């Protein structure tokens, strides 16, 4: 830990503290700090930020913190503290915004379908608030009651930036034990998340579109910052 830049060290420590607190008080921590669907009564504005410090289990936090260290450290050395923090948190915000937008679009499609069948919006939301869903609308219920958490969106932004600066660095996945250059590895990862996010082919609780959102914002920031690479940040 002493070899880490202080900023990254502090981010990792905050994540660990939040994880331990979540293990001790899971319901309270999830209710307060995980990202809830904006139309859900438990949604709070601060969840847009605090969800980035929440993790579901040990592998989840271990992977994200490893990636924060491995990819964040060389980027921090290039950017310094201010630019690194801006990039990290803006990527995380892009992740939650895209994920929520996709969820909202899907949710409202089901709402419109039910309204067209003669059920009012008030009835729909009253039933949802009672913990019930209409038959055949399981996805709408999953969106309404679901939460999103994790630093993965911000980490995907860092992955994209890493590929910009170190395109020929060789990376590996556990289930693909063959080194792949970052300039190919990162686009493949993002493309896979986009496909799984659209098709939900794996039927997992992974927020694939949050990964895509973080990567997209990271890409946009790198393109913008590339035009001002000689600008000093104070």
CATH of the domain at 179: 1.20.1540.10
- CA dist 20 and 27 (Å) reads 13
Instruction: Look at residue 172 and tell me if it is in a domain.
Output: yes
pLDDT of residue 9: 95
| Enclosing domain of residue 143 | 6-227
pLDDT of residue 202: 53
Instruction: Look at residue 73 and tell me if it is in a domain.
Output: yes
Q: Which of 22-31, 168-177, 185-194 has the lowest mean pLDDT?
A: 168-177
Residue 142 phi, psi dihedral angles, 5° rounding: -65, -40
User: Would you say residue 234 has pLDDT above 50?
Assistant: no
pLDDT of residue 34: 96
Instruction: Look at residue 232 and tell me if it is in a domain.
Output: no
- CA dist 32 and 138 (Å) reads 24
- For the record, the structure tokens of 178 come out as 């063959």
Instruction: Look at residue 112 and tell me if it is in a domain.
Output: yes
Rg of the chain's alpha carbons, rounded to an integer?
19
Instruction: Look at residue 173 and tell me if it is in a domain.
Output: yes
Instruction: Look at residue 1 and tell me if it is in a domain.
Output: no
Instruction: Look at residue 233 and tell me if it is in a domain.
Output: no
Q: What percent of the chain has pLDDT over 90?
A: 66
Instruction: Look at residue 205 and tell me if it is in a domain.
Output: yes
Length of the chain: 234
Whole-model pTM? 0.88
Overall number of domains in the chain: 1
pLDDT of residue 26: 93
**Structural contact between residues 64 and 150, judged by C-beta atoms closer than 8 angstroms:** yes
Q: Which residues contact 152 (CB under 8 A, 6 or more apart)?
A: 64, 95, 207, 210, 211, 214
* Partners of 173 in beta bridges: 176
The SS3 call for residue 191 is: helix
**Structural contact between residues 31 and 96, judged by C-beta atoms closer than 8 angstroms:** no
């Amino acid at each position: 830990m002493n070899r880490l830049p202080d900023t990254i060290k502090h981010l990792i420590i905050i994540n660990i503290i939040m994880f331990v607190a979540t293990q001790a008080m899971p319901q309270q921590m999830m209710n307060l700090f995980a990202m809830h669907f904006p139309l859900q009564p438990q949604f709070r504005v601060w969840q847009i930020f605090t969800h980035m410090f929440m993790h579901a289990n040990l592998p989840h936090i271990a992977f994200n913190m490893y990636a924060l260290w491995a990819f964040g450290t060389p980027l921090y050395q290039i950017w310094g503290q201010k630019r690194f923090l801006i990039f990290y948190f803006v990527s995380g915000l892009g992740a939650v915004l895209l994920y929520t937008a996709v969820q909202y679009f899907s949710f409202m499609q089901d709402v419109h379908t039910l309204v067209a069948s003669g059920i009012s919006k008030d009835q729909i939301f009253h039933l949802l608030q009672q913990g019930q869903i209409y038959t055949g609308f399981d996805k709408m219920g999953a969106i309404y009651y679901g939460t999103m958490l994790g630093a993965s969106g911000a980490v995907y932004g860092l992955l994209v930036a890493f590929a910009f600066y170190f395109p020929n660095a060789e990376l590996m996945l556990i289930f693909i034990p063959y080194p792949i250059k970052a300039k190919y590895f990162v686009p493949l990862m993002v493309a896979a998340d986009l496909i799984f996010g659209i098709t939900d082919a794996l039927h997992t609780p992974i927020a694939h579109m949050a990964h895509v959102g973080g990567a997209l914002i990271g890409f946009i920031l790198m393109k913008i910052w590339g035009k001002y690479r000689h600008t000093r940040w104070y």
